[in-house]
Amino acid sequence: MKRFTRCGIIFVIVITMMLFSVLLLQYNSEDFSLSESSFGLAGVARPQATEPNIAPPLNSTSNNLELNDGDTPFSSRHANASIVMLARNSDLEGARKSILQLEARFNHRFQYPYVFLNELEFTEDFKSMVKSVTNATVEFGIIPSDHWNQPDWIDEVQASQARKAMAEDGVKYGGSVAYRNMCRFNSGFFFKHELLQKYRWYWRVEPNVRFHCDINFDPFLYMEDNDKVYSFTIATYEIVETISSLWTSVKSFMSLHPEFVVQNNSMNFLSLTWGRTYNRCHFWSNFEIADMEFWRGPAYSSFFDYLDLKGGFYYERWGDAPVHSIAASLFARSDQIHFFEEIGYQHDDWSHCPLNKEIWEKGNCDCSRDHSFDYDDSSCKKFWDRISH
């Protein structure tokens, strides 16, 4: 009887412990699910170590964010700025990818508005799918035809012959009218669009780009507070066949308007011969943060109009990258142009990764410093270093 009683007591104790363990496990499980759902992450797979931080859910507020040193809460001072993307309806997935990257690394904290521009009307699907990945204000605009299409005064026979020759020579986009339209628009018209008139600063973003590091500061305010007008992350060479007469036209403009060429400019970035020849270096303009008042000013306005009438956007294939870079280098002081070391950025196969280890670690970067384009043979960063150091 005693043996039976002892076994019964042990049995009751074991059952009690098992019930207590189940209850404890259930409590912890419910508590974990509550924490996940509070931030909208329940059921969402965790990113791999090489992926950027997940942007906060669309119903979150600034109270959900743990700001790092240098971060700016939503209510803090903002620049008069916008993030600008030129895209087509077919770029939807690439546009969403770029926005998700930028939101994760930067804009979920700062909430700068987006402006999307297209030569055709955006579809409702494009608009809704883009708006679904950001809390920021998003506007969509149509580019006026006279800002986009090849002007009537261009000799189409000469232009078509140039396109044919470049296509036969294998020049990238050499046979494309649309690419030339884009280069001309980005060179001289985007900042005139009605949706951008209310803004001073812009950050150009393209579909299918990557941002490799957390951007725990406001680049717009940095530019504004430090008297900058133009910034870049990658510098490279232009394709020689696309700009055969560009530098001749630039020198002609400088002779006509020496008053626009400032002291302490960046001519040494553009030329190794004190301006006699052009080394083809330019800031890669698919990333640029800049002051639109600089483009709207008299120096650049006169410069673009002069180049436009030369017809080189269509008779050759002048790009907005060399046009912007030459103008910034000549009409702004060298200390007004800034290289953003902190902003890890990738377009196609070329990537800028912060080489400074402290910056790389602070930015939680997912890029390889050993593969940064900065000092690749095709990079012009070394020429910029001669000026900035």
How far apart are the C-alpha atoms of 350 and 379, rounded to whole Å?
Answer: 10
- Worst-scoring range by mean pLDDT, 52-56, 190-194, 201-205? 52-56
Across residues 256-263, what is the average pLDDT? Answer: 98
Predicted confidence band of residue 28 (pLDDT cuts 50, 70, 90): very low
Q: Return the pLDDT at 70.
A: 44
* Average pLDDT of the chain, as a whole number: 86
Residue 254: which of 314, 329, 355 has the closest Cα? 329
How far apart are the C-alpha atoms of 194 and 36, rounded to whole Å?
Answer: 43
User: Can you list the domains of the chain with their CATH numbers?
Assistant: 80-388 (3.90.550.10)
- Tell me whether residue 288 is one of the annotated catalytic residues: yes
The pLDDT > 70 percentage for the chain reads 80
Q: Return the pLDDT at 184.
A: 98
Convert the pLDDT of each residue in 31-85 to its tens digit.
Answer: 322 222 222 222 222 223 233 333 333 333 222 333 444 444 544 899 999 999 9
Q: Return the pLDDT at 277.
A: 98
How far apart are the C-alpha atoms of 104 and 110, rounded to whole Å?
Answer: 11
Q: Return the pLDDT at 388.
A: 81
Q: Exactly one of 103, 206, 238, 288 is catalytic; name it.
A: 288
Instruction: Answer with the residue of higher pLDDT: 193 or 46.
Output: 193
Amino acid letter for position 205: V
Say whether pLDDT at 3 is over 60: no
The pLDDT > 90 percentage for the chain reads 80
Paired residues of 277 in beta bridges: none
